[in-house]
Amino acid sequence: MEKQIFDEEEKRFYNLKLSMKVFLSNKTAVAGLIIFLGYVIDALLMQFYPEVIGVRNPNTLIYNFINPVPQPPSAQYPLGTTYPGVNLLQAIMEAIRVDLGFSLLIVVSGALIGAVIGVLAAYIGGYLDEVLMRVTDIFFSVPYLVLALAVGFVLGRSLNSMVIALIIVWWPIYARYSRSLTLSLRESMFIEAAKASGASNLRIMFRHILPNTLPPILVQISLDLGSVVGIFATLAFIGFIPNANIPELGYLTSLGLNYIQSAPWTVIFPGLAITLFALSVNLMGDGLRDVIDPRRRS
């Protein structure tokens, strides 16, 4: 018994070591991970220790109506200021926390809902599978941004409503993923063994099948983070989120829109922060995809 446990631990350590080796062999994925970790560290600093970098309240922007015209980058303001006199570097650092936090909440919630629906549909099958997949098709038939706007109008134009609206429209792709994986997993030997040992359907679905669907879902989550940050910023940019008086990258971009010709940095730097984040998670997702690719692991 002890030898079996030791063998299992050794196998897990070997798989972890192999996964790290495959991921680290992809240089662009490592670069994406480093950039992503930079965003995470910034968000954690702003959340727990904002005073370390001289920020008193990271939840609101500090306006300076005495000198509202955007100032170019200088020693005092490394990224310049945007209208109305907002320190752009500090505002971007505050906004990263907001965008990253809401993106994680939306994508992870959508992934959990979709994964559970997909596993239920594929494992139970029959009419439940038909109903759930037709509902999924309906969500796929409407562009997700249009659907999110429609749901947002129904729920009310607020920050929380838009988060709920994006969660509602973001689960279908995960339902499709987990369903297709469950269809292949339910015929596996270890599932047959679990059935023979008397395990209940709930235990089989959520103890044996769901964990085995997670690796490709984690890859999709990493890719979706960049998309959701872009969509969230777009909604704030077009003014759909009325309570946008918060540090948010899309809102920051909209503040400098009237000065794009005389002060282009007001749009370039917030846009660059969005682009860099989307690029980093996509590069990281490529590396994670390599990790679960059997050909790269052989």
pLDDT in tens, 171-207: 888 898 888 888 888 888 888 888 888 888 888 888 8
In CATH terms, is domain 1-296 a member of 1.10.3720.10? yes
Lowest average pLDDT, out of 24-33, 86-95, 110-119, 214-223, goes to 214-223
> 169: pLDDT confidence band, cut at 50, 70 and 90?
confident
Residue 188's pLDDT is what?
A: 82
Return the pLDDT at 153.
Answer: 76
Q: Per-residue pLDDT tens for 78-130?
A: 888 888 888 889 889 988 988 888 888 999 999 999 999 999 988 888 888 88
**Terminal Cα-to-Cα distance of the chain (whole angstroms):** 29
User: Residue 39's pLDDT is what?
Assistant: 92
Query: Which residue reads 């996509």 in tokens?
Result: 282
Quote the pLDDT of residue 24.
84
What pLDDT was estimated at residue 148? 76
Rounded mean pLDDT, 36-57: 86
Query: How do residues 37-46 score in pLDDT, each as one tens digit?
Result: 999 999 998 8
Tens of pLDDT, residues 233-284: 787 777 777 655 778 888 888 888 888 888 888 889 988 998 898 888 888 8
